[in-house]
Structure 1
Amino acid sequence: MLEYPQVINRLAKYASFSASEEIARQLHPFEDQDLVQYKLSLTTEARHLLSVNDGLQLGGCTDLRPYLEIAAKSGTLDAKAFSEIAYTLSIARDIYRSLSHHQSEYPKLAKIAEVLIPPSGLIERINQSITDRGEVLDSASERLTLIRREIRNSYSKLLAKLEKILKETRYQPMLQEAIITQRNGRYVIPLKAEYKGQLKSIIHDQSASGATLFVEPLVTIELNNAYQELQLSERNEILRILHELTVLVGDFAEPLKWIVEALAEIDFTLMCAKYADDLHAAEPILSPPDKKTHNPVMKLYHARHPLLPADKVVPIDVVLDDSTFAVVITGPNTGGKTVSLKTIGLMFLMAQSGLHIPVQSGSELSLFQNIFADIGDEQSIEQSLSTFSGHMTNIIRILKFSSTKTLVLLDELGSGTDPQEGSALARAILQYLVQKRIPCFVATHFSELKAFAHATEGIVNASMEFNLKTLHPTYRLSIGLPGRSNALLIAEKLGLPAEILEAARSTIDPEELKTENLLDEIHRQHDAARKARSQADRMRSIAENSQRELQKRLNEIEQEREKILSEAHAEAEKELQTVRADISRLRKEYSRAKLPLETIKPLETDVKQNEQSVKNIGLKFSSKLRKQLENIELEPLKIGEKVRVRSLGTDSLAVITAIDKEEAEILLGALRMRVPIRDLFRKFETEPEEPPAVPVRQPEDSLRKNSEGSASKPLYHPSPGVEIDLRGKTAEEITDILDKYLDDAALSGLPFVRIIHGKGTGKLRQVTRGILHESPHVKYIETGQDKEGGEGVTVAHMKG
């Protein structure tokens, strides 16, 4: 009814082997919140693993448990079974090694993998005896090596004897072909039927036409017998080897069973992760019911039906406040009410099964003990039940077993019978659910239920939107707005004569018409607000994309600048090293020639001056880089910024006092003027406020003044980067780390930073956001977008 089995079928298709598919087929919702949270977190961990190295490869693994049962019953496994055992165990060993090396990144997966340690020597023992194609090797035993050597010798002798017969002139006319073939395991030659008896032999077979007899010459009988006996010896030795290996596997049956189950669990987790990635799903936040009202938490943002194409399905928002536990959905037929009910039900079923759900990050929900639904036409021919009777049978059963910990979904409540009686029944059933405080979503076309929901505490109206211009449903769900009747408007737009429409309107209660007109106006205003919000969201998305692009350009420029500085510094240092080496050489030569060392003093002075130049080279290249970057404006200029006027050709700084479209008003010293914005460019971050001067000792008053707040900023403060990863740190460790990082980010002028704290238990995120809220450098924070890491990342926008 809710299509949960179809979801499971799609999940099962991601299985690498039968054992993990079996887990998927048996998946069901859980009530234990800790267990559900563990499974959700495990899937999140696996998705991270997939994003890093495409996950772990389990293709080709085999469920070994049937083989273990055969071994336990003293049976004998064939060679193919052993090749599958060896391969599966080698995969288990590889996964154990991989996850044990990344235990801190994937602790839950690594914990499962702790049992993936094959019994010592088992893989090697199998590989010594069996190939990966399931063939027994000569090296499986010394006796098998000897037997197969004898078989090759015996085969050579037998063929040599038969070939000699084929080549004899007297026999060639008797032969159908000069070939050696096999019949009944014996090597024979094809003899023409008319020469029967002329070659002493035993007949083993004949052709379909009877024209050819396949005969074994008497002179090769002993050779054939010897060959057959050796083959029997080989088969017996192989059986002995396989039985010996079977006993060895049986001795390790228990740990091998654990290995298979652990592999299946890891593969199932990867299946959930791959399915979640394909659905663009998110891990929901699990929250207990509200402490005061005991109502469940239901906040689903952009929920999508998992079985419908992502590019065609219309997402719905289901966000209820703490005082609401029931929703009445009204709207046109084929408007999406049924799909909305199924989507809501599937979100809870999937989440409680430990699956990520196709919603926006930040969606939140509570767990239910049961989820009951009555959806679709339940007419039963076999039981001779009508549509109405089928619905009532389901609803009676639902009401009997429902409680405050049950979610009830009812589609077209009261339909299939007389409208007046159906409406009365629908209202009474809804009233019963509300009195029992049973969480429910009820879809109906009865207008009486809209008024009941409006007047009853704990219930909220909702509607499926309808586009009156196109006369088509939009499939959007609007919580808080009751559905409107569109029959007269649709009839009017389709061309029904005006006198008929007027006659219809005259039979409707004027108050009801007034209410419908008011409802139409509310819907129009709601549509306008939604469009405005959608436009604002698009503009914000564009702005965020622009900000990211600008930050990317800024990072590239900073990297280029640092590269130039580094290369220049390295080049200067290299030249100084050469000069120092020359001076050292001259010292030695002058010393050996007993010449005065004062001759070298000027060179040493030059070196010291050059060393000072190396220290200042960053400033020189910053100035050079500034000239190259003057024309690059990464963000619009703002009031209060310090700029230079390109046309004036001066280094003097001006301050922007006003901006009007394409012109700006600036204050340059005591001069106020208006100039085109394109004529302005920013002061470069690393240049000094004043031109560099020869360092002199400042008087104490000046030092004191600087220390009180007027000291000039450093020429250059290196950027700490726009991202810091705190995963793996404790809550106590991150305080000092994050404080220093924010100080450095503020000094280097970063507009925003990203802090990666991961999802986990949420403690690190809580501590991180507490520090950010208290930081004097942070303007505001927000959760990272899905592709940035969602709830695992916090973006802090810095103060200017």
Structure 2
Amino acid sequence: MMIYPKDFEQRIGFDKIRDAVSLLCGTEAAQRLVREAAFTSDRTALARTLGETAEMRDVLMLESDYPGSGYTDMNRFLRKIRIEGTYLEPAQMTDLAKALELLAGLTAFFRGKRAEGNDPYPLLGALTEPVEDFSAVRREIARILDPDTGTVRDNASAELAQIRRTLREKAGQVDKRLQAILRQAQAAGLVDPDSEISVRDGRTVIPVAAVNKRKIKGLVHDESATGRTAYIEPIEVVELNNELRELENEERREIVRILTAFADLLRPELPLLLAAGEYLVRMDFIQAKARYALGMDAVLPELADGPQMRLRQARHPLLEKALKKEGKPIVPLDLALTPEKYILLISGPNAGGKSVCLKTAGLLQYMLQCGWLVPADGDSRMGIFDSLFIDIGDQQSLDNDLSTYSSHLINMKTILRHADDRSLVLIDEFGSGTEPGTGGAIAEAVLQQLEERHVRGVITTHYANLKYYAAGAQGIENGAMAFDLQNIRPLFRLEMGRPGSSFAFEIARKIGLPEAIIRSAEEKIGSAQANAEKHIREAARDKRYWESKRERIRLAEKNIDRTAAQYEWQLSQIQAEKTKILAEARAEAEKLLAEANRKIENTIREIRESQAEKERTRTARTDFDEFRRLIAGSETVSLSEREDAIERKMRQLREREARRKERKAQRASEEADQQGDAVSKKLEKPREIEPGFHVRLKGQQAVGEVLALQGTNKATVAFGHVTTVVDKARLEIVPHAEFRKIRRNGAAAGSDSFGAFGSGGGSAGAESYDTSKRRLNFRQQLDIRGMRAAEALQEVQSFVDEAIVLGFPQVTILHGKGTGALKEEVRRYLKTVPLVLSAADEHEEFGGAGITVVKLDV
């Protein structure tokens, strides 16, 4: 295991996170644990540490009765009484009592949760299970100490009670005698009329003017700073004060004896007490990390087995905090290192966020493997790395006579020597610092070595040769920082799957560099470079289109899967109903059979009693035949027809599920074909728009035909029956194969996809599931009371997605009032959903703050 370089934490900013968490600790011992928390690749230990922090985060968020405050490190004074004859001072005993009270509260809380049966905090419960609550020790401290004053009680022992009674009596005598002497001295004019009895060095004295101090017999204990006042202990109370001093010494000896006896009582329990003290420090440490996680909205991602990374909506915690102070939002990061694409090469404009992406990935991975939760979405997935390497910033050294590029080369040498397929390498501005041709060639050779070794990495660069190498490499994926070309500003958003452009000419124009210089520079780089930049922008446009389409398909598949699950549940309900119906039918048949037997017996008895009278015999037989037909018909209706209906329903459900799977497979195949067409389109040499071409407006679906060109920049286009002149820059060519497919789909749908300017031209078969039936079954209120935060957010996400798909403009979420934590989590999630217009409290008469009303843009 290796972390390189030694100042890795300072380079990614983890030292500042340690400082922030230390401030949240209640004890110095917990702060020491924060400083000592180290990077580890032990998956079992890491899963336990992260799980404890995640559980504590839920406790702080959901449990209003959690007693986790006022932590004390009781071990710092408990260790001193390991030696025989030592004892705790009353102030230390007071701290011990507070610590044991907190310990009792924590053990009662977690054991109570475990006793309820469904333990929501198993890891913290397991950590608490072996800890004692020391109720006997707490009772003994309460017997000895007064909780209000923190002093030893009079009744802590009979001897102490007697000593203090005598002390009070003697003090009263001394005070009474001193008051009499003071009054006499005031009457004689030796002492000021407003003088009062004072205490010096533990002796009671009266203040006397210095000129009169020899007129009062006694001991001078002190003088004022000016020398005008002397503090005299009259000779008449010296002996009484001596007796008081002796009684105070006896009191102190008795208190020490009581405290020593208490320490002797604790000493056999000391190992358990010290273990409980370590538990409190650890809980203080875990709670500080959990409080920090709550502050930055951090989560426990899914832990993967191998060294990989899939961050969703990840945020750099230090950058987010800084931007929040400025009132600016942070742009979340989506990033993936997979077993197939294990190196991400990020390119894009300067100040576009490349280094932030790299630092975010490194910081979050380091936080995770030090036991911290990470600020990202809960569906993020992070693996375990054995080693981390970083090469970032200017590491020029005057002491070692190293240039910036030399220091980069030393870092590359170290990385190539030690990095393997379980290492994460972070390199910023790969190959920079020297002549571009040479630096780019060396960087490409190093990149090739890293790829061959399957080293995981996030690398930023401006070099075109590295982008081209990554495009053809098997284990490397290009990534680009998005750029708003229209407003000439970076968007700070990472887009996977394509290389980025520096947009140097566009930025130069915005800054105001003379146009002549810019045109000269464009001519110098040649058409090849310009075409490359153009291809990059076209690839970016295509990628955004396919990503949006894939997201729509993902939502559709998600809803289809939910519908399938509902069908599965309905099928199980039907099976249960079938079993119930059959049981009822059998019971009914048995009842009818018993009745039939009674009818037969009655018929036979009537025939015998009538002595075979023909008319009565015929009537009895007729009644019996009618009853038999009734039984046969009842059985037919109740069993045969019911079973046929059930079988038909089950057969319909199975056929519907088979059709759904077939359509899903067909869509996946079509999407793969379309993506293949898109890739081939990117590689084709771009064509100029000519008359006869089929085109459409960028961002629109309607297809038209170019009738003629108007100069060099405009074209006359017919969209159905509408003819208009459009800038060529706003048009994109529709390949002939795609045009035929659109025309074929339009004809199949029975509508003219090309007949209206700007129409969507969408396929009539985009929705292949029964929306109307789901709308009838959809309830516009979701009840999440009593759920844990993670479970509740999953329900809210599915609920809101379903409402958007089904077109409901308003829904309500019932979360209750409680502490408000669950409501805050729901509101925070709703703010991230683009189609949520507002989320506010319900009217007071309908539930108020316990219900959130969500309005949707559908």
TM superposition score normalised by structure 2: 0.62
Is the CA contact (8 Å cut-off) linking 1:11 and 1:272 kept in structure 2?
Answer: yes
Matching of residue 96 in structure 1 with residue 96 in structure 2:
no
CA distance in 2, matches of 1:257, 1:369: 34
Secondary structure of the equivalent of 1:254? helix
- The amino acid that maps onto 2:446 is I
CA deviation after TM superposition for structure 1 residue 398, in Å? 2.7
CA distance in 1, matches of 2:266, 2:69: 22
Is the CA contact (8 Å cut-off) linking 1:412 and 1:443 kept in structure 2?
Answer: yes
Q: Which of 210, 229, 252 lines up with 1:193 in the alignment?
A: 210
Matches within 5 A, 1:695-734: 700=634, 707=642
**Residue in 1 aligned with 2:335?**
318
Matching of residue 303 in structure 1 with residue 314 in structure 2:
yes
Q: CA 1:62 to 1:313, structure 2 compared with 1: closer, same or farther past 3 Å? A: same
Q: CA 1:120 to 1:708, structure 2 compared with 1: closer, same or farther past 3 Å? A: closer
CA distance in 1, matches of 2:468, 2:166: 96
Matching of residue 266 in structure 1 with residue 276 in structure 2:
no
Secondary structure of the equivalent of 2:525? coil
CA distance in 1, matches of 2:492, 2:393: 18
- The amino acid that maps onto 1:64 is M
Secondary structure of the equivalent of 1:182? strand
Is the CA contact (8 Å cut-off) linking 2:313 and 2:377 kept in structure 1?
Answer: yes
**Residue in 1 aligned with 2:155?**
139
Is the CA contact (8 Å cut-off) linking 1:380 and 1:386 kept in structure 2?
Answer: yes
CA deviation after TM superposition for structure 1 residue 387, in Å? 2.1
- The amino acid that maps onto 1:379 is Q
CA distance in 1, matches of 2:209, 2:784: 89
Matching of residue 160 in structure 1 with residue 176 in structure 2:
yes
Is the CA contact (8 Å cut-off) linking 2:67 and 2:105 kept in structure 1?
Answer: no
CA distance in 1, matches of 2:224, 2:383: 77
Q: Which of 229, 245, 250 lines up with 1:233 in the alignment?
A: 250
Matches within 5 A, 1:759-778: none
**Residue in 2 aligned with 1:68?**
78
Q: CA 1:148 to 1:384, structure 2 compared with 1: closer, same or farther past 3 Å? A: farther
**Residue in 1 aligned with 2:15?**
5
Q: Which range moved further: 154-163 or 464-473?
A: 464-473
Secondary structure of the equivalent of 1:409? strand
Q: CA 1:754 to 1:454, structure 2 compared with 1: closer, same or farther past 3 Å? A: farther
CA deviation after TM superposition for structure 1 residue 318, in Å? 0.6
CA distance in 1, matches of 2:53, 2:144: 39
Q: CA 1:115 to 1:703, structure 2 compared with 1: closer, same or farther past 3 Å? A: closer
Matching of residue 150 in structure 1 with residue 161 in structure 2:
no
CA distance in 2, matches of 1:355, 1:442: 24
Q: CA 1:505 to 1:169, structure 2 compared with 1: closer, same or farther past 3 Å? A: closer
CA deviation after TM superposition for structure 1 residue 756, in Å? 11
CA deviation after TM superposition for structure 1 residue 129, in Å? 1.3
Secondary structure of the equivalent of 2:317? coil
Matching of residue 20 in structure 1 with residue 30 in structure 2:
yes
Secondary structure of the equivalent of 1:421? helix
- The amino acid that maps onto 1:313 is I
Matching of residue 359 in structure 1 with residue 376 in structure 2:
yes
CA distance in 2, matches of 1:219, 1:63: 51
CA distance in 1, matches of 2:489, 2:365: 29
CA distance in 1, matches of 2:359, 2:127: 34
CA deviation after TM superposition for structure 1 residue 527, in Å? 5.3
**Residue in 2 aligned with 1:251?**
268
Is the CA contact (8 Å cut-off) linking 2:313 and 2:376 kept in structure 1?
Answer: yes
CA deviation after TM superposition for structure 1 residue 303, in Å? 0.8
Is the CA contact (8 Å cut-off) linking 2:71 and 2:284 kept in structure 1?
Answer: no
Secondary structure of the equivalent of 2:168? helix
Secondary structure of the equivalent of 1:509? helix
Is the CA contact (8 Å cut-off) linking 1:186 and 1:224 kept in structure 2?
Answer: yes
CA deviation after TM superposition for structure 1 residue 540, in Å? 14
Matching of residue 78 in structure 1 with residue 94 in structure 2:
no
CA distance in 1, matches of 2:65, 2:413: 48
CA deviation after TM superposition for structure 1 residue 85, in Å? 1.0
Secondary structure of the equivalent of 1:216? strand
Q: Which range moved further: 378-387 or 188-197?
A: 378-387
Deviations 1:652-692 (A, max 9, x none): xxxxxxxxxxxxxxxxxxxxxxxxxxxxxxxxxxxxxxxxx
Q: Which range moved further: 165-174 or 322-331?
A: 165-174
CA deviation after TM superposition for structure 1 residue 304, in Å? 0.6
Secondary structure of the equivalent of 1:173? coil
Q: Which of 408, 413, 424 lines up with 1:407 in the alignment?
A: 424
Deviations 1:732-786 (A, max 9, x none): xxxxxxxxxxxxx99x956598999999999xx9xxx9xxxxxxxxxxxxxx997
CA distance in 1, matches of 2:78, 2:42: 33
CA deviation after TM superposition for structure 1 residue 426, in Å? 1.4
CA distance in 2, matches of 1:168, 1:754: 85
Matching of residue 219 in structure 1 with residue 230 in structure 2:
no
- The amino acid that maps onto 1:373 is I
Deviations 1:145-196 (A, max 9, x none): 1111111111100000010112227754100343100112111101112213
Is the CA contact (8 Å cut-off) linking 2:75 and 2:278 kept in structure 1?
Answer: no
In the alignment, structure 2 segments of 5+ residues that lack a partner are 1-10, 560-630, 647-772, 799-814, 816-821, 830-858
Q: Which range moved further: 329-338 or 239-248?
A: 239-248
CA deviation after TM superposition for structure 1 residue 404, in Å? 0.9
Matches within 5 A, 1:771-786: none
CA deviation after TM superposition for structure 1 residue 526, in Å? 4.2
Secondary structure of the equivalent of 1:174? coil
Is the CA contact (8 Å cut-off) linking 2:350 and 2:502 kept in structure 1?
Answer: no
Is the CA contact (8 Å cut-off) linking 2:346 and 2:478 kept in structure 1?
Answer: yes
- The amino acid that maps onto 2:170 is S
Is the CA contact (8 Å cut-off) linking 2:480 and 2:500 kept in structure 1?
Answer: yes
CA distance in 2, matches of 1:539, 1:707: 35
CA distance in 1, matches of 2:378, 2:234: 83
- The amino acid that maps onto 1:32 is D
CA distance in 2, matches of 1:207, 1:757: 71
**Residue in 2 aligned with 1:116?**
131
**Residue in 2 aligned with 1:57?**
67
Is the CA contact (8 Å cut-off) linking 1:77 and 1:242 kept in structure 2?
Answer: yes
- The amino acid that maps onto 2:471 is H
CA distance in 2, matches of 1:87, 1:507: 77
In the alignment, structure 1 segments of 5+ residues that lack a partner are 290-295, 544-696, 712-744, 770-783, 791-800
Is the CA contact (8 Å cut-off) linking 1:414 and 1:423 kept in structure 2?
Answer: yes
Is the CA contact (8 Å cut-off) linking 2:178 and 2:197 kept in structure 1?
Answer: yes
Judging by fraction of residues, say which structure has more helix: 2
**Residue in 2 aligned with 1:521?**
538
- The amino acid that maps onto 1:142 is A
CA deviation after TM superposition for structure 1 residue 346, in Å? 1.6
Is the CA contact (8 Å cut-off) linking 1:17 and 1:60 kept in structure 2?
Answer: no
CA distance in 2, matches of 1:338, 1:128: 63
Deviations 1:437-481 (A, max 9, x none): 211111112111111111221011111122233332211111111
CA deviation after TM superposition for structure 1 residue 496, in Å? 4.1
Q: CA 1:247 to 1:509, structure 2 compared with 1: closer, same or farther past 3 Å? A: same
CA deviation after TM superposition for structure 1 residue 60, in Å? 2.4
Matches within 5 A, 1:731-750: 749=777
Is the CA contact (8 Å cut-off) linking 2:488 and 2:506 kept in structure 1?
Answer: no
- The amino acid that maps onto 1:33 is R
CA distance in 2, matches of 1:162, 1:539: 96
Secondary structure of the equivalent of 1:307? helix
Deviations 1:374-402 (A, max 9, x none): 11222234444332233333332233221
CA deviation after TM superposition for structure 1 residue 324, in Å? 0.8
Is the CA contact (8 Å cut-off) linking 1:68 and 1:250 kept in structure 2?
Answer: no
Is the CA contact (8 Å cut-off) linking 1:316 and 1:477 kept in structure 2?
Answer: yes
CA deviation after TM superposition for structure 1 residue 412, in Å? 1.1
CA distance in 2, matches of 1:57, 1:308: 33
CA distance in 2, matches of 1:384, 1:182: 72
Secondary structure of the equivalent of 2:420? coil
**Residue in 1 aligned with 2:619?**
none
Q: CA 1:12 to 1:534, structure 2 compared with 1: closer, same or farther past 3 Å? A: farther
Matching of residue 423 in structure 1 with residue 440 in structure 2:
yes
CA deviation after TM superposition for structure 1 residue 788, in Å? 11
Secondary structure of the equivalent of 2:319? coil
Is the CA contact (8 Å cut-off) linking 2:217 and 2:234 kept in structure 1?
Answer: yes
Q: Which range moved further: 118-127 or 178-187?
A: 118-127
Deviations 1:91-143 (A, max 9, x none): 11121112111112322212211233144521111221123353222122211
Secondary structure of the equivalent of 1:423? helix
